[in-house]
Structure 1
Amino acid sequence: MESPTSAATNLGEEAAAGFRERFGHEPDGVWSAPGRVNLIGEHTDYNEGFVLPIAIDQRTWVAVGRRHDRLVRVASTSSSTSGDTVVEHGLDDIAHGSVDGWSAYPLGTAWGLLQAAGDTELGSVGGFDAYFTSDVPLGAGLSSSAAIECALATALVDLWRLPLDSDRVLRATVQAENIIVGAPTGILDQSASLFSRAGHALFIDCRDSSRESIPFPLTEAGLRLVVIDTRVKHAHADGGYGDRRAACEEAARVLGVAALRDVSPEALEEGRERLDEVIYRRARHIVTEDARVQQTVALLRSQGPRSIGELLLASHASMRDDFEISVPELDTAVETSMAAGAIGARMTGGGFGGSAIALVDAERVEELTEAIGVAFAKAGFEEPVTFVVTPAGGARRESR
């Protein structure tokens, strides 16, 4: 089996080689950014609440070279996203509705960075060529889109010498997804991809973007974190995600608060009669999920990762029943994982497909994987993809 280090090296070399083949000149460097798994805290980010993701060792790599004109050219190894073609666009012509498909992520990132830098930078930079490679599964709820955005953002800040601090880079990548892509996401995915530390989870307060690294010593605890990619594809720009966000905003409006972050469980019950039943259940997920995130952080600090299993399960039940974003494949993954000896399991990501995670003893990974394969086959589902992830570091420059 190829080691993670050699696989990563190969992807970086593949990005540089692909760049040379497509664009006919040497890149100025290679950068990378990770996908992420959210341990707990789903849909709380855009409600100004708390989240606890980890970056994973699956990454997106990009080779980038500066141009002297205002043209942007982007390409990717993934035929499912790019058709193995080069997408060209004028740097000054990027706007909502002017780009679509996978190229909206890198083009939107360039637009977001220039917006963040302000008018003084708009005319002082040239275009660029960029070639992407990745082993972050697409549509699996592991934030392949944020990995594209954060890898390129890190590259362009370097190459364009933009005077942006880390929080402004974060906001630029989120704006790219919100405005250019049209996906109403919060700051969770990009924060994890930019700022994570190896061996740690990232505790994020989504109201002020403050971050704290929380030790997540899986290996020392004899545990592994298994991702179960159900291969049910999802897309944040689709209606279900937006509907949930709109419901949360309506609940906050009725309850008279800026965001559901400001609602305690007691206040939610007091205001229940003023809320439609569906709106109430959507709000209940957010309010209880915020509490679960804080409880998980406290347990990790005091007792370690073996102590958080019940909170993972409670989170999944809340997403299944109150927020209604699970699907039968995700429920099967969670239920089968627990039957196979997992300490805890839950769906992860925006929902409506994607992946589940299971926290399991190292020696039971193979047993759990086999059980999930059998359960999916018995239910007539597409064969899932399972793999172990480790908490990795954030976006970085890989080579010059």
Structure 2
Amino acid sequence: MTHIRSYSPWKGPEPWLDTNPIGGVEIAQAMKETVEASACGKVILLGEHAVVYGRPALAVPVCGLRARVRAEPLPRGSGCWIEATDVGGEIGLATAPPEHPLAMAVRLALAHLGLPEPDLRLILRSELPIAGGLGSGAAVSAALIRAIFQWGGRPADPEVVSALVYEVEKRYHGTPSGIDNTVIAYERPIRFVRGQPPVFLSIARPFTLVIADSGVPSPTRETVAAVRAGWERDPERYERLFDAIAELVQEAERCLASGRIEDLGPLLDANHQVLGELGVSSPVLDHLTEIARKAGALGAKLTGGGRGGNIIALTRPEQAERVAQALRAAGARSAYRTEVV
């Protein structure tokens, strides 16, 4: 497995905060054409919640759903504007508060490149549901950062994008695990243990997931806090549950490495059951996972914080549309397939 350099709480130096001028002012002013950039979403395959307590988690990119940014030049003196109708309207970079996450992403990218505020309109559109466990916040930040890098005539190295997105994620989540920014910046599956460098997953055979949006927002802060409270009340029980999830993650990693994709299904089912015991499932998520199985999925589970958000279902490619249709008929707001390679 290949280790990934990832800037998260356990890292020391923060090189992304250094400026690295490249004659950037001249480049930015000279460029008068529109540029575009995008970033994928992500799902946690197995291991959510237990990952907070030192156990491993597996996460994969959702390349078919993306946040997209188009950067259009404005007349001199107009300043930089972020048009984000999907997530709150239009904001001006000069007047946005320091903690505004969209403005923060743009400012971090400009600081890294050594560029002043450009005369630019950043038009942001996202296909990723908000508060659904698909990394929508990290994807939006990554797309904005990549657009600024393109505007500045500089390649957006995944290591740097991951580091900058992580800084913004701290605004969203306080102490993020580092999973979202890493998977989304590199667009590759990873194995993640908090406090250790992530590693790229070895996947012997591609596989198909159907992702279904329950239509209920996932209150991640609340579910994380609820698990923490339960762990404080009964640490022995919760540690057993976290260990059970870790065993499932380790077996899933072996299945992926050996190409035993069919054997991954029961592991997803078992992980969902343990998450239910942790108190982070819900009747709607249990219902959707059961519908997926009855429609032919090899296994299904919630993904992300739980109590809402999305479920994932492992399917054979030829059964994916049947499973997606069954989930939509059962009340899912949307259902779509993605291939993991």
Kindly state the Cα deviation for residue 203 of structure 1 after the two structures are TM-superposed: 2.6
Residue pairs, 1:272-283, within 5 angstroms: 276-277=233-234, 279-283=235-239
Using the alignment, how far apart are the partners of 1:207 and 1:386 within structure 2? Answer: 34
The CA RMSD measured in Å over matched residues stands at: 3.3
2:98 to 90, 95, 99: 95
Helix, strand or coil: the match of 1:86? strand
Using the alignment, how far apart are the partners of 2:327 and 2:155 within structure 1? Answer: 48
1:321 is aligned to 277
Opposite residue 289 of structure 2, the aligned amino acid is V
Q: Is the 8 A contact 2:67 2:124 kept in 1?
A: yes
Kindly state the Cα deviation for residue 366 of structure 1 after the two structures are TM-superposed: 4.3
Please say if 1:196 is aligned against 2:187: yes
1:386 is aligned to 335
Using the alignment, how far apart are the partners of 2:238 and 2:106 within structure 1? Answer: 34
**1:367–1:28: structure 2 CA closer, same or farther, 3 Å change rule?**
closer
1:364 is aligned to 319
Aligned residues: 308
By percentage of residues, which structure has more helix? 1
Summarize deviations over 1:352-372 as a string: whole Å, max 9, x none.
211111112333334434544
1:129 to 121, 128, 142: 121
Q: Is the 8 A contact 2:203 2:258 kept in 1?
A: no
1:290 to 246, 262, 268: 246
Q: Is the 8 A contact 1:205 1:211 kept in 2?
A: no
1:239 to 209, 222, 240: 222
Kindly state the Cα deviation for residue 72 of structure 1 after the two structures are TM-superposed: 3.8
Please say if 1:145 is aligned against 2:140: no
Consecutive unaligned residues in structure 2, runs of 5 or more: 1-30
Please say if 1:73 is aligned against 2:81: yes
Please say if 1:109 is aligned against 2:101: no
Please say if 1:59 is aligned against 2:42: no
Q: Is the 8 A contact 1:64 1:130 kept in 2?
A: yes
1:271 is aligned to none
Using the alignment, how far apart are the partners of 2:109 and 2:52 within structure 1? Answer: 21
Q: Is the 8 A contact 1:108 1:176 kept in 2?
A: yes
2:167 to 148, 157, 175: 175
Kindly state the Cα deviation for residue 36 of structure 1 after the two structures are TM-superposed: 1.4
Kindly state the Cα deviation for residue 176 of structure 1 after the two structures are TM-superposed: 0.9
**1:194–1:45: structure 2 CA closer, same or farther, 3 Å change rule?**
farther
Using the alignment, how far apart are the partners of 2:266 and 2:197 within structure 1? Answer: 27
Q: Is the 8 A contact 1:196 1:213 kept in 2?
A: no
Summarize deviations over 1:95-153 as a string: whole Å, max 9, x none.
33xx3xxxx3x2232355578x5xxx77x532453111232233332222111011122
Helix, strand or coil: the match of 1:307? helix
Q: Please report the TM-score for the alignment, with normalisation by the length of structure 1.
A: 0.66
Summarize deviations over 1:334-391 as a string: whole Å, max 9, x none.
12222333211111112121111111233333443454455x3xxxxx4542221123
Residue pairs, 1:14-53, within 5 angstroms: 28-53=34-59
Q: Please report the TM-score for the alignment, with normalisation by the length of structure 2.
A: 0.77
Using the alignment, how far apart are the partners of 2:324 and 2:66 within structure 1? Answer: 23
**1:65–1:321: structure 2 CA closer, same or farther, 3 Å change rule?**
same
Using the alignment, how far apart are the partners of 2:155 and 2:209 within structure 1? Answer: 38
Consecutive unaligned residues in structure 1, runs of 5 or more: 1-24, 252-274, 377-381, 393-400
Helix, strand or coil: the match of 1:390? strand
Seq. identity, %: 22
1:217 is aligned to 205
Q: Is the 8 A contact 2:146 2:156 kept in 1?
A: no
Using the alignment, how far apart are the partners of 1:348 and 1:168 within structure 2? Answer: 27
